[in-house]
Amino acid sequence: MFASLKRKDKLLRELPLYVMLLPAVVLVAIFSYGSMAGVIIAFQKFIPAKGLFGPQQWVGFHNFSTLFSMPNIGLVIRNTVFIALCKMIAGIVVPVVFALLLNEVRHILTKRIFQTLVYLPHFLSWVILSGILINLLSPNEGFVNIILGKFGIEPVFFLGDPHVFPATMVLTDIWKTFGFGSVIYLAALTGIDPALYEAAVIDGANRWQQTRHITLPGISSMVVLMTVLGLANILNGGFDQIYNMYSPVVYSTGDILDTFVFRLGIEQAQYALSTAAGLFKSAVSLIFIVVSYYLADKLTGYRVF
């Protein structure tokens, strides 16, 4: 557009663009890049009083060796990956199935009403949802256990039994996210050319065959994309949710990296160790994020920018 302009004029023309970027660049430089530089804490014998970038004593990888010799770190990583993977898989399957079933409803208003109802939990914070769930799932006066009791089932300690806790987290996470997660698949479903179905009917395809050969291929690229992008969350167990619902009784199966980092850092003020654990998480996540973006681009042509 401005190919004819001279160098100086070009710079002059670009100047306002730099000015526009300035505020965001300054803030991001301080808070994001400043924090990134702050990961040096992980390699120091960090004393907060000396300041973030103050004259701290360097200890190399000592904090990491301390971290990985802690008795429960292996368990914490395993819990994190297990919970994250379960959420990831259920987070694809449930919304896809829901979108397929909802797509069979031809009455527009009915469809809208269903959508309106199932999206709601998505927009509320885990603080509120946890508050509600803690009451609903309580062993003695919780609504869920009262219902189970009517079927003669012993009260389940959803939040207090280490064997049940991870399942509770996965199920309640699905409860919050599946409705809104289906939006993207519903959009893909409406994008399928109706002519394909008409042709299939003429060829004598039944409903199931239509679903199998038209509908599923029609949303498969979206499923691939969401699966691949989901990989980036391999170490995200869901801090907001778990922190608000867990307790020491379920640490053995419910303690995840983020809650571990939080307790170590904020509650016990072990800044260096906590930073090391956080850095471990970020480094592994970085690899997964880059790989997932790369795959998303290669497989479906998706680009973030």
Query: Number of residues in contact with other proteins, rule: CB under 8 A?
Result: 93
Site track 73-102 with other proteins (rule: CB under 8 A), x = hit: -------------------------x--xx
Examine residue 120 and tell whether it contacts other proteins (CB under 8 A): yes
The b/e string for 223-247 (b: 16+ C-beta within 10 A; e otherwise) is bbbbbbbbbbbbbbbbeebbbbbbe
Residues 123-152 that bind other proteins (CB under 8 A): 123-125, 127-128, 130-136, 141, 143, 146
Among 9, 28, 74, 220, binds other proteins (CB under 8 A): 28
Q: How far apart are the first and last CA of the chain?
A: 21
- Binding to other proteins in span 210-269, by CB under 8 A: 222, 225, 239-240, 244, 258, 261-262, 265-266
User: Per CB under 8 A, which of residues 187..216 are in contact with other proteins?
Assistant: 187, 207
CA nearest neighbour of 257 among 95, 75, 64, 23? 75
Residues 260-292: b if buried by 16+ CB within 10 A, e if exposed: bbbebbeeeebbbbbbbbbbbbeeebeebbeeb
Q: Which two tokens stand for residue 133?
A: 């769930």
171 binds other proteins (CB under 8 A): no
Rounded to the nearest whole angstrom, what is the least distance from the CB of residue 123 to other proteins in the complex? Answer: 5
Q: Per CB under 8 A, which of residues 39..68 are in contact with other proteins?
A: 39, 41, 48, 51-52
- Measured in residues, the chain has a length of 305
Please give the Cα distance from 58 to 305 (Å, whole number): 38
Q: Which stretch binds other proteins (CB under 8 A): 62-70, 71-79, 108-116, 211-219?
A: 108-116
CB of 166 to other proteins, least distance (A): 20
Question: Are 46 and 272 in contact, with CB atoms under 8 Å apart?
Answer: yes
Which of residues 53 and 163 has its CB atom nearest to other proteins in the complex? 53
